[in-house]
Structure formats: structure tokens, C-alpha cells
Amino acid sequence: MLSGLDHLVITVTDISRAVDFYTRVLGLDVRYRDQERVDLMLGDMALRLHWTATDIQPRAATPTPGSLDLCLRSQLPLDEFRRHLEALSVEVELGPVTRQGANGELESLYLRDPDGNLLEISRPLR
């Protein structure tokens, strides 16, 4: 019945800080929808940023910054991605480590966005 994911909402404390991180550090393209909603494009889907102080309805029952645990696939080999993060002084919390993904084993690095959301950057092990 379902065919995929259109967008995922990330609740943030500061939209401009989040946009800077996701564009500069992760290379996502930004699309401004209005002052309270910003899309960070990830292929044919979006990570939509909502500011904590907004009253956009409907929304999750308890939108909370820092509660997301998200795995993103990298086009770069993880050693290159790690060097990119180091050049930007972004701390890698863990990795590379082997993990189980939706379609098999992954090699992953873990880091956090400015709100403390856990981001897993992965590549398939084949």
C-alpha cells in the first residue's frame, strides 16, 4: 500500500543553525517553504525543519529537538566522509562500525547535529 517516504520532520531550536549544519556539513540542498518550514532535500524526499516555537498543526504530540535517530546513506567512502567532517571540526562520536541496515550490513559513522539528534552516516558492505 505504501511506496516510500516523502518527508520527515525534524524539530529544531534554531532553523538557521540547522540549515547551516545540514547544508555545509552534509551537503543537502535547502528549499525554503515559509519562515517556519524549511526542506532539506535528500534525493526525492525532504528532511523538513520545524522550529520548536511554531504552532504548525497537525504535528507530533510532543515535538522535541534532539529526539531523532536517523541513518543516512553516503555516496562517499566513509574514510573520505570522515576527513570531510574533521576538516569542518565536526566530532565523530563512533565509527566506523558495522551495523545492520534495512537491506544488509552497513559500515557507519555516528555524529550529532546542533540539536543533539543522532545521525548515522552509512555505506553498504558488499
Question: Active-site residue numbers?
Answer: 120
Where do runs of H (alpha helix) occur along 9-101?
15-20, 78-87
Written as nine digits, the cell of 8 is 520527515
Among the listed residues 62, 53, 55, 69, the one whose alpha carbon sits nearest the alpha carbon of residue 8: 69
Angle at 9 between CA 71 and CA 98, to 5 degrees: 5
Q: Give dist(CA 59, CA 52) in Å, integer.
A: 11
- What is the rounded radius of gyration, in angstroms, for the C-alpha atoms of the chain? 15
Among the listed residues 67, 94, 65, 62, the one whose alpha carbon sits nearest the alpha carbon of residue 78: 94
